[in-house]
Structure 1
């Protein structure tokens, strides 16, 4: 009997998995939630079965991906309901199908970690607006767990979003973001808190605290942080956010090209991450996806030291989002990249690019509708919202439906690069403007519709 159980189980598992994959493919054109539910409930998978399930999962419908930067506004008394009411609960009737939850900046998070420091507790207890973190620790929960649980209960997909090199802690405006890890490892950073960046750096001003990815210690701690989340939280995937902020090697800041050997070391890190997500995915019986957010020019990414096309060729990425403070190429180019590598692609909208200013309370809905409509027409798979946090925002019930947008008042613009913005293409790579491929007919002229 024992021998029969050993030989029969893999066969049964294979047959069940193939059935789930086939049913999932049929459901992907109909009830997407049912398809995802079947994938979620599949038994422990072989590697081949996991990859089939991952291909289904990466192509699920995501009308809008919402990035929550983790700065949820929570006032006492601290309860799960009040936390979710800040930015999440009212999304239940929106077009937001996926939440990318960013729980902090490198080495300082609101989720519980044995590797990083925790915002709002211990030496970071005075971080403004994070008093709720300790309260939820006492309840044996945290920000990421609460978001994951809400998404499970409301049929939403959820990713942990990791900012690969957030440089807010370089600024005197946010002194509380500096961690002991960075203070104790100055050799792993671009510069120092005392002296800033070296005088030889031609760009990257105000970014001394960025981690150097040519240092093996940095790559290891980044891997450890990602692995910790993947093994401890029931997320559907992880996002590697290379837009916050786009500097990873010293050479671009010195006006030099990044050596291929350094880019290969970065690629090897993502191979290791992919292997880890496959191991964890097989153990839990459903895939862990890997998303990236990048500048929308492959040439610009290489100038930063990111060999993105190689990552896509090696199947190290499942979802690609392009653009942020500026975009460099027509959305059609991003859509073509998705077609070429069989990955869904998303158009990122941020206030500074769309309206030319940050944190304005006056949203020009016509501009946002036109931006989204043009992106849909160009062939993207969905819309990605950055720095929009109001869950009652009407745009979260409009931008994910191109047929609805066609009927609404809009200005059909596509914004690329606004010179007055705080971040410019040349801030991060030498001759950054050479990668701008803005069509002449989209240089600021707008068309009112309908």
Structure 2
């Protein structure tokens, strides 16, 4: 058996001496249209057709999550845990030793996934086998710097870590505070590890190598979005960050090639920020990463569906040999927490028309496909008062693989508060507007196949009543006419965070004013008390 510490030390030495990358010969492009992410956690946190509330994990539940998207997606991406503790029998991190330490330090038993593996189960094997049976490409999505539950790594009196701590924290993490950005903080961004340290990267590569050696995977995704903090940008240069990240990518490509089976290339994907500034902060030079062996780039807004991103600029950076995907999620915006804890906030669900419009724009701007993240979380989960919940809209998925079909569907464009990322400051929304002031919003829009026809509608949603406030709107410089109809533009079965009639204002929008590309919507506050704008949408039926 390869000793874990020796393996990590040897890997760290290799990572520290990675050479520059030379251009590779042209290779086949990844053939997938629709990628589906399965975070595993949803299995035991959601109430579903195959799991009742508080029922522990059993492998049939995992199989059911694969079955329910069979024939609807091309590739299934399983996240087996948080990238810290294996959900498979491991020699890199032996679980009996790990959970004994967890019990001693935190006084908690393994969660039901840990118990399953400790009894001889194997989450990854069950997943791969089921993907084979249902004709889905089997990917592992590996979280490179996850922050969940690390606020309890050094528990204070009164803290109640819960069983999830066993998936989030290891002895190595606790015993090396020098690798953590700020152990005294409660912010996830501060509690992850600094990738400037060779041993931090080696820990991840050791687990990735074990997965690639032991399982017949079709591909691997490196998830840079859980959590998107890898370096102190004030203490590192862009060149330094890019050298480290490109070197790591080359190491992973080498592992995939060495362990491939049957002569078939194993696809390598990266889940990365959909904003160029985020790529720089993380040290992700996409052109260099593709040269290092990256096949697929998955553009993410972390937890949200968003239509406005640096897609065209990023497409220009990504060679055509690599496939580009736009990620969509169950939420367009989150509200405040109703009670303390995880998953206790309200959230605005993504609708069918928003999925289709987002996918249409993605294809129009050069994407090769789309991906779904957290799609299962339409189901009941988390704290009270967040419903009503529903089954995920699986019926949406088949059309997302057909650009010509969705190019002729009704369009629902929107801006929401969504991802409160560190790269856009101030955020696009919410936005305050004082009397006599004006503000503008930009929407990149793509017309349907035969062009826009007739009338559309612009709506604004505020945080309070708009009674007594006089707002005017323009589209690309042309004044729009107010209308009284502020209803949802399409049937919406998800009422959470939708605006009340008194909080909404609408204008008729002649579609002849729209153009393929950036459209500017200007809002002027002609009179009345200040207002905070929370949401904007444009509907074209």
How does the TM-score come out when normalised to structure 1?
0.71
Matched, 1:187 2:187: no
Contact preservation (8 Å) 2:80, 2:87: yes
* Aligned position for 1:70: 40
CA deviation string 1:410-432 (max 9, x = no partner):
4144x5xx4x44632348xxx69
User: Which is strand-richer, 1 or 2?
Assistant: 2
Secondary structure of 1:278's aligned partner:
helix
* Aligned position for 2:214: 232
Aligned residues: 370
Contact preservation (8 Å) 1:351, 1:359: no
RMSD, aligned CA: 3.5
Distance (whole Å) between structure 1 residues aligned to residue 426 and residue 285 of structure 2? 17
* Aligned position for 1:380: 367
Matched, 1:248 2:230: yes
Contact preservation (8 Å) 1:163, 1:241: yes
* Aligned position for 2:123: 143
Residue of structure 2 aligned with 1:342, choices 321, 330, 335: 321
Post-superposition shift, 1:388?
A: 0.7
Distance (whole Å) between structure 2 residues aligned to residue 351 and residue 296 of structure 1? 17
Contact preservation (8 Å) 1:348, 1:386: yes
Contact preservation (8 Å) 1:148, 1:158: yes
* Aligned position for 2:402: 401
* Aligned position for 1:288: 266
Distance (whole Å) between structure 2 residues aligned to residue 406 and residue 270 of structure 1? 35
Residue of structure 1 aligned with 2:92, choices 115, 130, 138: 115
* Aligned position for 2:192: 210
Post-superposition shift, 1:77?
A: 8.1
Secondary structure of 1:239's aligned partner:
strand
CA deviation string 1:293-338 (max 9, x = no partner):
11124443123333333222x2421100112247663433344344
Distance (whole Å) between structure 2 residues aligned to residue 384 and residue 247 of structure 1? 22
* Aligned position for 1:448: 539
Contact preservation (8 Å) 2:220, 2:267: yes
CA deviation string 1:145-186 (max 9, x = no partner):
111111111111111111111111334596623322211221
Contact preservation (8 Å) 1:365, 1:410: no
Residue of structure 2 aligned with 1:261, choices 231, 235, 240: 240
Contact preservation (8 Å) 1:291, 1:318: yes
* Aligned position for 1:166: 146
Post-superposition shift, 1:233?
A: 1.0
CA deviation string 1:228-273 (max 9, x = no partner):
11001111111111111111012x2xx4553523431332222222
Summarize the Cα distance change of 1:137–1:379 in structure 2 as closer, same or farther, 3 Å threshold: same
Distance (whole Å) between structure 2 residues aligned to residue 366 and residue 392 of structure 1? 11
Q: Which moved more, 1:101-110 or 1:143-152?
A: 101-110
Secondary structure of 1:403's aligned partner:
helix
Q: Which moved more, 1:117-126 or 1:375-384?
A: 117-126
Q: Which moved more, 1:270-279 or 1:142-151?
A: 270-279
Contact preservation (8 Å) 2:333, 2:418: no
Secondary structure of 1:293's aligned partner:
strand
Secondary structure of 2:27's aligned partner:
helix
CA deviation string 1:335-376 (max 9, x = no partner):
4344x3421100011244x35567748542222221122212
Residue of structure 2 aligned with 1:196, choices 178, 185, 188: 185
* Aligned position for 2:137: 157
CA deviation string 1:369-415 (max 9, x = no partner):
211222122221111111112676222233222333345444144x5
Residue of structure 1 aligned with 2:312, choices 329, 332, 352: 332
Higher RCO (CA-CA < 8 Å; seq separation 6+) = 1
Distance (whole Å) between structure 2 residues aligned to residue 127 and residue 438 of structure 1? 49
Summarize the Cα distance change of 1:226–1:299 in structure 2 as closer, same or farther, 3 Å threshold: same
* Aligned position for 1:220: 202
Distance (whole Å) between structure 2 residues aligned to residue 402 and residue 79 of structure 1? 38
Summarize the Cα distance change of 1:361–1:110 in structure 2 as closer, same or farther, 3 Å threshold: farther
CA deviation string 1:267-300 (max 9, x = no partner):
222222222222212x652222211011124443
Summarize the Cα distance change of 1:121–1:88 in structure 2 as closer, same or farther, 3 Å threshold: farther
User: Which is helix-richer, 1 or 2?
Assistant: 1
Summarize the Cα distance change of 1:208–1:78 in structure 2 as closer, same or farther, 3 Å threshold: closer
CA deviation string 1:31-63 (max 9, x = no partner):
xxxxxxxxxxxxxxxxxxxx99x933x421x23
Q: Which moved more, 1:66-75 or 1:148-157?
A: 66-75
Summarize the Cα distance change of 1:244–1:359 in structure 2 as closer, same or farther, 3 Å threshold: farther
Post-superposition shift, 1:132?
A: 4.5
How does the TM-score come out when normalised to structure 2?
0.60
Contact preservation (8 Å) 2:246, 2:292: no
CA deviation string 1:3-29 (max 9, x = no partner):
xxxxxxxxxxxxxxxxxxxxxxxxxxx
Where structure 1 has 5 or more consecutive residues not aligned to the other structure, the ranges are: 1-50, 198-204
